[in-house]
Amino acid sequence: MTSRRIVSNEKNLLERDDSNDRTPSATEKSNITPAVPGAVIIKLLGFTAAMFGGPIGVYFLTVNTVFRGNSTWAGATAAITANLVLIAYVVVAMKEDQSDKIAAEESAKKKR
């Protein structure tokens, strides 16, 4: 087991006053931009709605119309729909990640 060296000039947790570190000065503007862009949030909400409504809607649409009361096939169709929504989300996320990488490479070429 290791031991920690005690340094007398360090302040411990009770002696620290973090209030001065967190408040910006009067001349400094605070950063109020969101951590996640709005387009990403809209995509996430869209896929969330699709993940919730898609399989349920497909189940109730197919249970009596396509499969004539066979809930097993309707449930399987709903499960396939959920997997398709998940795959679509992964593909969109990968394309978005690639577009960010391409944009960074183009900006690096412009700087040269």
Average pLDDT across the chain, whole number: 84
Average pLDDT estimate for 63-73: 95
**pLDDT at 103 (0 to 100):** 78
* pTM, two decimal places: 0.63
Average pLDDT estimate for 15-43: 73
What lies within 8 Å, CB to CB, of 49 at 6+ separation is none
**pLDDT at 29 (0 to 100):** 79
**pLDDT at 65 (0 to 100):** 95
Tokens for 87, please give them: 């795959």
**pLDDT at 1 (0 to 100):** 56
**pLDDT at 22 (0 to 100):** 58
Give the CB-side neighbour count of residue 98, counting CA atoms within 13 A: 6
